[in-house]
């Protein structure tokens, strides 16, 4: 089996950002008006009054301080509470393809090789703009890449599943290089009228080029091993889909956007991921306590702190357990790749680290990497 290398990465960050203060102001204005509009039902006990959100609540619950979004005006408008993202014509590049192409061009420039050497494009993300044609094929065409492309969705674990898939294609000899992109417009599936989750997500796109080791130049990262795991759970769910049209009575219901039971997710996912990392490290002959850096999925700072302690056997330093969610929030599949892209400095050849994602499904993926000379 041909060995694989992470040769380059790219990142697209939207220009607009929303602070917790701005988000809370918008939510509280909407909630106050909702309480006024439903005052009689609240007084009679038919419905409960909505509780205001707060910056302190958000930061304690998540560690998030801001998030990048494609459209700020619609989200902070109490009369709308959703981003404004107009539809584009079929002959125009879609917004998600545009994001993915921007991240991909950065990765390709860092790679320094022609796109003719890329044999496949994978689009791995938590949401796709349409069932078909595949977003990956749209990105493939925009970049002038031959070969094939397809979409894959494993929610927040999509990127690590994508890296594993790319490495398997290379290992089998199907292709010599794969472009994997993760465009995430999470603001479009988030219910900004839900106090418990209105602060969670942001928008971004990342890109990773995985290449056969026998043709890779200096630098990059050897992929030492990849492992995937899924366990079915309804604790994170989104019921939006093509079947909604066949049951119109449910269109617009809260479950057609992101919903989760946060405490249950924490209780289930943290031990699952921690044990998986330690077990996979053992299978590869690696000491998890010796990992130089963890690039974990950026969902919640409390989850990452707990996993970091379990894996390293002590309290990790900020250098060892990278946190970028304070600035980017949860960007689903892109989070661990953002962390890797921004914070891979200080490694010497032979140093090892871990890219890890986890989320709805449940799903989890681990990618152990070693710095190349």
Which distant-in-sequence residues (6+ apart) come within 8 Å of 86 by Cβ?
Answer: none
DSSP state of 313: S
Helix 262-283 / helix 301-312 crossing angle, nearest 10 deg: 30
Distance CA 270, CA 311 (A): 11
- Cα torsion angle, 248, 253, 257, 260, sign: negative
Structure tokens at 57: 């609540």
Omega before residue 362 within 30° of 0, cis: yes
Which entry of 123, 156, 186, 356 is annotated as an active-site residue?
156
User: DSSP letters along 74-130, please?
Assistant: TTT-TTT-S-------TTSPPHHHHHHHHHHHHHHHHHTS-GGG--EEEEE-S--S-
Task: Check if the beta carbon of residue 187 is closer than 8 Å to that of residue 203.
Answer: yes
Q: Which residue has the tokens 């009679």?
A: 44
Distance CA 47, CA 34 (A): 11
Q: How far apart are the first and last CA of the chain?
A: 21
Distance CA 261, CA 230 (A): 18
Q: Is 156 a catalytic residue?
A: yes
SS3 145: coil
Name the burial class of residue 152, with classes exposed (0-12), middle (13-18) and buried (19+) by CB atoms within 10 angstroms of its CB.
Answer: middle
Q: Which residues are catalytic?
A: 156
């Amino acid at each position: 089996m041909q060995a694989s290398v992470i040769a380059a990465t790219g990142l697209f960050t939207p220009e607009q950002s929303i602070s917790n203060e701005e988000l809370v102001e918008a939510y509280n204005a909407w909630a106050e008006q909702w309480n006024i509009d439903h005052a009689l039902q609240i007084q009679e006990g038919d419905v409960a009054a909505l509780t205001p959100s707060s910056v302190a609540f958000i930061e304690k619950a998540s560690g998030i301080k801001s998030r990048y979004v494609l459209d700020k005006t619609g989200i902070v408008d109490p009369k709308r509470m959703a981003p404004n993202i107009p539809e584009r014509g079929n002959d125009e590049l879609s917004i998600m393809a545009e994001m993915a192409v921007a991240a991909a061009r950065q990765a390709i420039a860092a790679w320094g090789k022609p796109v003719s050497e890329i044999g496949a494009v994978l689009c791995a993300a938590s949401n796709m703009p349409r069932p078909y044609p595949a977003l990956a094929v749209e990105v493939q065409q925009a970049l002038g890449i031959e070969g094939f492309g397809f979409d894959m969705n494993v929610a927040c674990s999509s990127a690590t599943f994508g890296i594993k898939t790319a490495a398997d294609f290379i290992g089998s000899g199907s292709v010599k290089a794969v472009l994997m992109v993760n465009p995430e417009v999470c603001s479009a599936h988030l219910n900004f009228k839900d106090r418990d989750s209105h602060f969670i997500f942001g928008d971004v796109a990342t890109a990773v080029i995985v290449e056969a080791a026998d043709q890779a130049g200096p630098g990059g990262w050897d992929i030492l091993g990849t492992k995937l795991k899924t366990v079915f759970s309804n604790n994170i769910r989104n019921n939006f889909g093509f079947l909604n049209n066949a049951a119109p009575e449910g269109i617009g219901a809260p479950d057609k956007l992101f919903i989760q039971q946060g405490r249950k997710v924490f209780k289930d996912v943290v031990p699952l991921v921690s044990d998986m990392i330690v077990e996979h490290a053992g299978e590869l002959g690696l000491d998890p306590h010796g990992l130089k850096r963890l690039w974990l999925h950026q969902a919640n700072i409390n989850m990452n702190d707990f996993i970091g302690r379990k894996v390293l056997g002590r309290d990790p330093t900020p250098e060892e357990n990278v946190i970028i969610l304070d600035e980017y929030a949860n960007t689903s599949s892109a989070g661990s790749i953002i962390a890797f892209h921004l914070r891979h400095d200080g490694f010497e050849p032979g140093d090892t680290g871990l890219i890890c994602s986890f989320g709805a499904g449940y799903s989890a993926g681990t990618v152990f990497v070693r710095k190349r000379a």
